[in-house]
Structure 1
Amino acid sequence: MKAVVPTNGEKKGAPYNPLNISSEGVGEDGFILSTYTCSGANISPPLDIGGIPEATKSLAIIVDDPDAPGGTWVHWVAWNIAPLSHIKEARQMEKEGINDLHKRRYDGPCPPYGTHHYHFKVYALDSLLSLTGKTSKKDLEQAMQGHILAFGELIALYKK
């Protein structure tokens, strides 16, 4: 599935290069395969990342669901990932923060009802980040400010 990125080349007012994010874990129909959900093995899907700038020191990933009944639900927060063009499924990350299940790990799509959109956001950064395991999505977003070289997003769908 093709990445969905804003057309203006900016995120929160700062210019960045676009990353091309895709995954074999997302079918042609845009739905994430059940292996990567709470109905399956609940492991992170493989991610292919194109367009990583040469100056990239690390990658960060945020996965969230803005369709959750109580507001955006955070499924994964990870950073200080080596700038690789392919991240294998179920990869143990160097640094992970707290998701909305209060766990330091990936927790896959598990909507209570309806079809939800899952945003796999990948950031190429010009530095490593000094954050703790108690880091939230908001903390990571704040720490990345001024360090984002490139950004890409893959939006996958899931319905139980």
Structure 2
Amino acid sequence: MAYWLFKTEPDELSIDDLAVEPERNFLWDGVRNYQARNFLRDQVQLGDKVFIYHSSCKPPGIAGIARITKAAYPDPTQFQPNSSYFDAKSNPAAPRWIAVDVKFEQKFDLILTLDKLKKIGTLNQMPLVRKGNRLSVMPVTDDEWCTILSLTALSNQD
């Protein structure tokens, strides 16, 4: 099993949206960066765990955990002309974009803010905390995963 961080804007698909229907598989679509697409296509696997990171909000941070319930398949929105994720250059025989399905696992009592994560020395190599990283899908090492989980336990004791 591998670990990941997926960024989302909370008004698109938040940890709260996932928590409302915890048994439902949610389509994770709209990834339109080639490096993030390659992670989804080549490395994200069924059963992998995912930190759900809320971006473009105040405060940005990790809000909870989801699990991959369906691995890489063509993102259906790339073929839908009325979708904001439509890609006229993509075709069903050779789709350009990939989606996965996720399912709710856990909502954190408190969001682990980006500011807090940046202050943790053992996370200083994590792509999320490094300046200029805009990927919506990124790997998380075993050590980073464990460190972040330990932070949630500390936050819950505050």
Q: What TM-score comes out, normalization by structure 2 length?
A: 0.24
Higher helix share: 2
Q: What TM-score comes out, normalization by structure 1 length?
A: 0.24
